[in-house]
Chains A and B, each alone.
Chain A
């Protein structure tokens, strides 16, 4: 099987063939095709820009791969600023010996994810490092998009009386990665939710331009994201645990491993905080899109306990939903 060689990163003919055969084939567009030192872009008004590096292990997992994730992750961060993502850059760090078939699969998957998200890859870079100096493939993407609404949603804008909505079930991506990495299987398959949120957020903002906060609860999960917002806006947040959507397979897997799905990463879900009078319209706009079919109102913003998130349990008790110290570790017994 063909493998990535150190030569491919040399800048010589081998590099050029490599780039032409693979990256232009799947990611090509008129801006990228100019092959100048930098892309020239036209943008109107305020823009949102974000960058993220992807080092996920395993590089292929149920529901996606490192390529589609590298597009979705950055596209979603841009979209969460109330923006329409337009352009991406991609930097690849490849480990010598990576099978070319794997790389082709990943780049093809990036191309498809970019088309679905409505973004063009306008600049890129490839480096090959010696075996052992990187783990198979690392991808960095930077995204830029035009902000659609004024004022833009922000973590600082949650206000007392607002309603908290999530677009679907929590913890799918985190548990899918963990169970694939560790070779664990559960009664029902757990699949990553990795998806571009650019489309659904566009529809939401068209229906409810006054959204106060948009956030995708990636690393650290819903609990961490809400704690960040409570801190940024200096408000309390109160959730109703029974209303938080969690896939039964995820709940079961987490129970076995001693993990809390509210701290697991999501890659195709967002939460939005809107004034109560707009909650119904926001929920309708979200649920109208297939990616938001499982959306629910899960809580509200309160004046009590500023900076903290409280949760009303199914029993009717109330407790703190705090931040975690580090990553969750599966327990001993």
Chain B
């Protein structure tokens, strides 16, 4: 049995579930922050097996879904330009901008869009298109930002003049801070992302326990990881000693990955950022530093963040604060579906609303 399989072991899972049913005697509501956790909880069937005392509040999904409409409008304008080639991760292709336009529709209109699997591949795209600027869409959390930063450094070393990055990276801890600052928030504990934490470590989440008294556990993505995290949360609640715990030690070092963070800090600097459905969150984005201005697509002539009207009727903000479950939103499965997503939670295939749509069996 390989390690993938071992952390899915049904017998072990059932044993942990039985313990959870016994130990979770007071009700609580937890949220996961990472879309891969969301999908795992639904896909494994774990959600249907949780004890009645434990309520799963679905999180925001993956980084592409929180890309703001005005950011999407910005790169769609770039896509329409004849002097630009866009290089992007595949999951950004369907994120909707104004009037339902996205990169797929832009491609049909003749835009040059190359799907890449790594930011470094975008350098090859730039080399293959000497007459045009290749712009890589820098969308992602702390997980992807270091690789994009390293790519920018590499472009400078290679003296590549036609490569730029449109940095719409987002940072997880500032967004969590903004969520829990709402006094009406209806979440009692967090499951923290595994991949993001591999870079930043556990310390940046300390405020959850220290300031807000919320237990939080960094964990992996298999059912056993998630069940152990829930047992940990249950125990912390029982003892009245909330803390931020790293239960994913096979991947996440407590101090994170200092090398990756150093590259990220060298190239990027934190700025206020726009989040789809949430608005401006202070210090939650990454801009390219002055020293790397030649690689910053936002500094290209004619590039700006256009104003975008708020998403009419979208209640993702409340879903993300645990005040509403996805199918209570008036738009759910009506105006807002995976084909015509409105808010971040439906845009991402890993978002809470998309997971409700895809996995929830109404009997």
Cβ A315 vs Cβ B45 within 8 A: yes
Secondary structure type dominating chain A contacts: loop
Cβ B140 vs Cβ A332 within 8 A: yes
A323 CA to B92 CA, complexed, in Å? 20
Given known contacts A304-B363, A330-B91, A333-B63, is B117 in contact with A315 (CB within 8 Å)?
A: no
Interface locus among A45-53, A165-173, A206-214, A305-313: A305-313
Inter-chain contact total with CB atoms closer than 8 Å: 96
From 279 to 333 in chain A, residues with beta carbon under 8 angstroms from any chain B beta carbon are 304-305, 308, 310-320, 322, 325-326, 329-333
* Residues from chain A with Cβ under 8 Å of B241 in the complex: none
Cβ B117 vs Cβ A319 within 8 A: no
* Residues from chain B with Cβ under 8 Å of A311 in the complex: 45
Chain A's closest residue to B227 (CB) is A315
Q: Report if A134 contacts B (CB, 8 A).
A: no
Q: Report if B143 contacts A (CB, 8 A).
A: yes
Cβ B4 vs Cβ A315 within 8 A: no
Interface residue total, chain B, C-beta cutoff 8 A: 44
One of B44, B48, B90 near A329 (C-beta < 8 A): B90
A-contact bits for B97-140, CB 8 A (1 contact / 0 none) = 00000000000000000000100000000000000000000011
From 246 to 275 in chain A, residues with beta carbon under 8 angstroms from any chain B beta carbon are 252, 255, 258
Q: Report if A184 contacts B (CB, 8 A).
A: yes
Q: Report if B6 contacts A (CB, 8 A).
A: no
Given known contacts A310-B361, A329-B94, is B10 in contact with A317 (CB within 8 Å)?
A: no
Interface locus among B74-82, B160-168, B244-252, B352-360: B352-360
Cβ B360 vs Cβ A320 within 8 A: yes
* Residues from chain A with Cβ under 8 Å of B360 in the complex: 319-320
* Residues from chain B with Cβ under 8 Å of A329 in the complex: 90-91, 93-94, 349
Q: Closest CB-CB distance, B154 to chain A, in whole Å? A: 20
Cβ A314 vs Cβ B359 within 8 A: no
The 7 closest A-B pairs by CB, nearest first: A317-B45, A313-B45, A329-B90, A325-B338, A317-B48, A320-B361, A332-B89
Question: 20 more A-B contacts (CB under 8 A) besides A318-B361, A332-B139?
Answer: A304-B363, A310-B361, A315-B14, A317-B44, A317-B47, A317-B48, A317-B49, A318-B48, A322-B359, A325-B339, A330-B90, A331-B350, A332-B63, A332-B64, A332-B89, A332-B91, A332-B92, A333-B140, A333-B144, A333-B195
B: residues with CB less than 8 A from A are 4, 8, 10, 13-14, 17, 36, 42-49, 62-64, 89-94, 117, 139-141, 143-144, 195, 223, 337-339, 349-350, 357-363
